[in-house]
Amino acid sequence: MFIILTNASSPFQGKPLIIKKDIVVTVFEAEVEQPGTPSDDNVIELPFKEKVTAVFCGPVGAWYVKETVEEVYKLLKAI
């Protein structure tokens, strides 16, 4: 079984992320630094910190997602 989450890592922010349930080891809140980006009016946005949820999947590593820890656990428990 799989869960579908929302990617929080740039440059894939906002895109769906499909994770196999049985490889998830732990889920926790993390703070990551998102890179700054130039805007349409030539103003450069500075990097900023954002709270995300980290889904650690053993040898694959961690995925950063937009959903809260509680939302991820609810999806993991669903059949």
Q: Does the pLDDT of residue 59 top 70, yes or no?
A: yes
Q: Does the pLDDT of residue 36 top 90, yes or no?
A: no
- Interatomic CA distance for residues 6 and 79, integer angstroms: 20
Domain holding 11, by residue range, is 2-77
Q: Does the pLDDT of residue 65 top 90, yes or no?
A: yes
Instruction: Note the pLDDT of residue 25.
Output: 95
Work out the burial of residue 66: count CB atoms within 10 Å of its CB; fewer than 13 is exposed, 13-18 middle, 19 or more buried.
middle
If one counts the domains in the chain, the total is 1
**pLDDT (mean) for 29-41:** 79
**E strand map for 2-78:** 2-6, 16-20, 26-34, 48-56, 62-65
Question: What is this structure's pTM?
Answer: 0.81
Which tokens go with 23? 């490889």
Beta carbons within 10 angstroms of residue 19's beta carbon = 19
Instruction: Note the pLDDT of residue 79.
Output: 66
